Amino acid sequence: MLDDRSLKKIKEISSKYKSKVYFDHSLKSHTTIMVGGSALLWHEPVSLEELREMREFLEHTGIAVFVIGNGSNVLIPDEGVNRAVVSLSNKNFRGVSSCGLKLTAGAGAKLSEIISYCSENSLSGFEGMVGIPATLGGALRINASHKCAISDYLESVKLLLKNGKVESVGKKDIKFGYRYSSIDKGAVIVEAVFSLGKDRPAVIKERAREYFTEKLAKQPLEKNTLGCVFKNFSDGKRSSGELIDKAGLKGAAFGDAYVSEKHANFIVNRKCANAKDVINLIKHVREKVEEKFAVKLETEIEII
């Protein structure tokens, strides 16, 4: 619950910058699996200055801030989150531009928007990320990858640090691994610069189409999911999906949440699943796989 003084100050900041702020705001439609409760506060800042001012006030007041991207890797509990959720969905955080082979993009830009820009401007490399329904910020946070990793072409990342300072960090100063980046958890990713290759637009588009068709043949991209629920193993010999399939769990369900028949590492919200259904199914899958293969599956998705 927000006290009157905090409410007043939050409204004051957002009206000063003419931004959007909503209280007790449902997060369901802000996630790709479409489950979950409300956030104490939803904020769409219009500028870095506003983001800095609002975050400083909220944290000073003891309200934790969570930055959401496209919600394609986060599971929100049914009871909601007692936090302020910040979305960089304003156009000022979504710009994409280039100079020669250097591309600069705002953290709120969707990867699909960046891929379109690249293919129209003869810039190659980014098409390897096709089919990942992420924002640039969310993809960098976990080093999302498909045909390539988001870090492969990265040059630098602009961050709003916890202390309010804005810093540009070179790739060499960030560790990237499988679904991992060492970018400070308290920092907001604001923008990034990439060094890309050059190719003809038609060639880039064709490659993107090919990669997407391949992904779509294996994964239920058309359904409400969070992508792969569990991480794969570092030995690369077997995948989590393979073990879940061999444990006979395709189609296993709790409420309206079920294990995809197309790809066993995907949990689908058929229509009206809630977060509890998804969490129960995750537990069930984990237990069955451990019973059968003596292996503990680690979640890739983030349960808030």
Ligand X SMILES: Cc1cc2nc3c(=O)[nH]c(=O)nc-3n(C[C@H](O)[C@H](O)[C@H](O)COP(=O)(O)OP(=O)(O)OC[C@H]3O[C@@H](n4cnc5c(N)ncnc54)[C@H](O)[C@@H]3O)c2cc1C
Q: State the residues that interact with ligand X by CB under 6 A.
A: 32, 66-74, 88, 107, 132-135, 137-139, 141-142, 144-146, 188-189, 221, 225-227, 302
Q: Encode 69-90: b = buried (16+ Cβ within 10 Å), e = exposed.
A: bbbbbbbbbeebbeebbbbbbb
Q: Do 198 and 125 form a contact (C-beta atoms < 8 A)?
A: no
Helix (H, G, I), strand (E, B) or coil at 217: helix
Q: Among 75, 96, 85, 72, which residue's Cα sits nearest to residue 221?
A: 72
Nearer to ligand X, 70 or 124 (CB): 70
Nearer to ligand X, 80 or 227 (CB): 227
Nearer to ligand X, 11 or 175 (CB): 175
Nearer to ligand X, 184 or 245 (CB): 184
Least distance from ligand X to the Cβ atom of residue 101, Å: 24
Q: Which residue has the tokens 């956030």?
A: 39
Least distance from ligand X to the Cβ atom of residue 262, Å: 11
Least distance from ligand X to the Cβ atom of residue 279, Å: 17
- For residues 83 and 260, give the distance between their C-alpha atoms in angstroms, rounded to a whole number: 31
Least distance from ligand X to the Cβ atom of residue 152, Å: 13
Nearer to ligand X, 94 or 141 (CB): 141
Least distance from ligand X to the Cβ atom of residue 221, Å: 5
Which tokens hold the place of 30?
Answer: 């802000």
Least distance from ligand X to the Cβ atom of residue 15, Å: 24
Instruction: Say which residues have a Cβ less than 8 Å from residue 2's Cβ, sequence separation at least 6.
Output: 10, 23, 40, 41, 63
Nearer to ligand X, 10 or 132 (CB): 132
Q: Among 232, 262, 249, 241, which residue's Cα sits nearest to residue 288?
A: 249
